[in-house]
Amino acid sequence: MRPFWIHQLAEYMIGIALVSQGLQDTEPLVPSLAGTVVILNAAVVRGPMGAFKRIGRGLHRWLDLVVMAAILAGAVQPRIDITTAGRATMLVVLLPLGFLWFYTDWAERQSRAQRRLERAPVGGEQVGRTAGRLAGTGYRTARQVIRNRSKS
């Protein structure tokens, strides 16, 4: 599984490629729009390279499928004129998007506090309890020694 930041970076690059192809084409609307949608989809997810961080990775996983279906529909639709190069680019882009989707680790990253808590060998609460027990044992022992000396 690939880390999520690779997924986001690749989505940005694919989106930029689609927009660039569209802008160089005589019919730029659909490829440029598809590239913009891919870039926005990568930008709104909570991830290391997310610009707006509005949606979680689980939802992004399914939005990727919707985006891929929209690119496919835009490439094969007959109503809006698209050049052959634009259609081919949109269809070819589906291949890396599909591989990215299939091989990505979608697990949400834990908060920094949670990661530190799990890495810590001994928790602060446990140290406090141990210190309290040690102090109590020392106090009881000292009291017992004082009582034994006063009786003798």
Determine phi and psi for 6, rounding to 5 degrees. -65, -40
Residue 127: band (very low, low, confident or very high) from pLDDT cuts 50, 70, 90? confident
Residue 115: band (very low, low, confident or very high) from pLDDT cuts 50, 70, 90? confident
- pLDDT averaged over the chain? 91
- DSSP annotation of 25: S
How distant is the alpha carbon of residue 64 from its chain centre? 13
Q: What is the pLDDT of residue 151?
A: 84
Q: Which residue has tokens 């989809």?
A: 41
Q: What is the DSSP secondary-structure string of 46-67?
A: SSTT-SS--B-HHHHHHHHHHH
CB contact at 8 A, 68 and 98: yes
Asked whether residue 45 carries a pLDDT value surpassing 90, the answer given is yes
Asked whether residue 152 carries a pLDDT value surpassing 80, the answer given is no
Q: What is the pLDDT of residue 108?
A: 84
Asked whether residue 122 carries a pLDDT value surpassing 80, the answer given is no
How many whole angstroms separate alpha carbon 9 and alpha carbon 3? 10
How many whole angstroms separate alpha carbon 17 and alpha carbon 41? 15
Mean pLDDT of 125-132: 84
Domain boundaries, given as residue ranges, for the chain? 4-102, 122-151
Mean pLDDT of 92-111: 91
Mean pLDDT of 138-142: 93
CB contact at 8 A, 2 and 105: yes
CB contact at 8 A, 96 and 89: no
Q: What is the pLDDT of residue 94?
A: 96
